[in-house]
Structure 1
Amino acid sequence: MTTLFDRHRLGGLTLPNRVVMAPMTRVRAAAGGLATPSMATYYAQRATAGLIISEGVQPSLVGQSNPGTPGLHTAEQQESWRPVTEAVHANGGRIFAQLMHGGRVSHPDTTGFQPVGPSAVPAVGDVFTPSGPRPTPVPRALETSEVPDHAQSYADAARRAVDAGFDGVELHGANGYLISQFLSSNANLRTDRYGGPVAHRIRFAVEAVSATVAAVGGERTGIRLSPGGTFWGVEETDVPELYAALLSELSRLELAYVHLEATADEEVLLGLRRAWPGTLIVNPVLPMGPKQAGRAEADHWLGLGAELISFGRAFLANPDLVERLRAGLPLAPVEEDTYYQGGDRGYLTYPAYQHTA
């Protein structure tokens, strides 16, 4: 039986275990969306993961969702990531950059631009801005001629990521951000080739992934998806059909992986497991839900056919999570008030497990 601690071949990489650090926003970038020395330490501390997936990195300024997040759309940003990837590799790790275009989940106070989306439909909820939470504004609906440029922005950022030393990239197609908005049946009210029937609603995702594969190769490209998720007010009709169609198109591109969140019933997710011929990463509990993923949830999904398991909050407070899971050691609790406060407390201050005599 497959265990969390077996090796796995992922594209050109050999992962020493099947524990993946999930992407998690930490809003600790420097001005201008630059990665910092503290970010290098943070990721290097967790390099025993089979694979690290970075926090969401905006591929363009208009794609920035929150203040304090890093980018990969300027030469300076690209160079700022090099010490991060070098630190992870020096500690024996592997790291993909998650490319996250916020789409309508943004604010002019953060970017200087009106957010864009598939349609002029605002997200549900308040978005962070430099002056605190503000209601999400009505986005500007993208013209048909503009959509390919936003798909290409993922590819351009992916090329910068690889040049900065990342082992690959994950497109954030989940949680109500731009790709998810195009998949949605209530955020996407378009009547052109990007909206309406399933074949049209998946088009933007397929174009973004295809452009990225053309830029850096399929073995360096993954995508994260949240089937049936309702983050930021998105809704999706015909979830099994929608995602089966998407995975069918993506299967032609020979991606490194698909990363599914447990946002749908297990039966739906198992159907998608059967539909996807390549490596599947499963985030086995609802992100930001009441329960954290642990060994039991990981073993359950390995038994159901997932090759890799991603852990979010458990990795924040447990930089040595792999060893804690291996040895059955208790997991330290996370300090929720430090998620987004900035600084090194609750970021670099979680110790490895202290054995006592």
Structure 2
Amino acid sequence: MKIILAFDSFKGSISAAEAVEAARCGVQKVYPEATIVGLPLADGGEGTVAALSHYLSTTRVSCSVHDPLMRPITASYARSIDGRTAIIEMAATAGLPLLRNDERNPLKTTTFGVGEMMLSALNSGCRNLKIAIGGSATNDAGMGMLAALGAHFYNANDEELLPIGENLEQIARVDTSALTPFTDVQLDVICDVTNPLFGVKGAAYVYAPQKGASPEAVERLDSGLRHFSRFFSVNPYEVGTGAAGGLGYALKTLGANLCRGVDVVLEASQLTSHLHNAHLVITGEGSIDSQTLNGKLPFGVLQCALRQGVKVAAFAGRIKDIDPLLAAGFSSIRSINPPDEPIAVSMQTGVAKRNLQTAISDYLETYPL
């Protein structure tokens, strides 16, 4: 019997690798002789560098950068053994977890640190940059990233602007004469959303409230994104330009290719090959709902498995909108949390591991293969 464990992280609780190991224990309790293939995965958000590094030969590189509020920090990225490829996670420098709840305000945050990490990789000789842009605390259209790479933004009084979200609508002139060239660089952007830059489905209206923006701030940010796009030739309605508060758009101005994060990671993990002769795939992440069908990791796993006729069971801490998920092809969707357990307890690492292990063993005992 062959069972594949293909997990994303349970955000704020356990990593993808920890989820795989907890699931392995749950399977072995019921089927101790089973062949188990463990695949820690990601879909372009936090944990993507760790997931890709699990399958590729890389080393970790540390660099001095700035966080979303321009405070100095040390961050790291992965570099291939041959020194040609860098795998960068924007959340390492501009991610929401870097800020306290009372600091979260996309009017004030910047992607400057992302540009600094890119420069570090370029200066070390990398010519293929893979950038995962999920989990951002920003809505600056990548203005900060471009500023770190040498661009300058000025207002109507020809005063240089701080590259933060609230200043997007004040831009009167952009000087890219000193911008780092990307003519000989392959720039692959790994993202997990398909939103355009602005509008009701754009970066500000859909994601800025999650980053601390008030309704008034959302309107200002959306207006700023519209204004920003007038200075560049990239189509703001292109899929993924609204990713990471518009960072996807700015990266496109550098000639980047936008890639669906789940596809990049699944290819690296060779999931399709592992599915041969498999009896079951068990997948999951922290939350599963109707948004899962928009390119999230469990849905990507499901699509691969269904093509080879392998059934998929999904587990999560939070479950919602089960009917469309079952209609999409999941054989079972289960919450790992006991109904009477406080969420603060369920989120604890040790508790989450135990709950996932128990939920999987209970499922396998109820529905034997």
Instruction: Please give the TM-score of this superposition, normalised by the length of structure 2.
Output: 0.38
Higher helix share: 2
Structure (1 or 2) with the greater strand fraction: 2
Instruction: Kindly indicate whether structure 1 or structure 2 has the higher relative contact order, using CA contacts under 8 Å at least 6 residues apart.
Output: 2
| TM-score (normalizing by structure 1) | 0.39
Q: Which has the larger radius of gyration?
A: 2
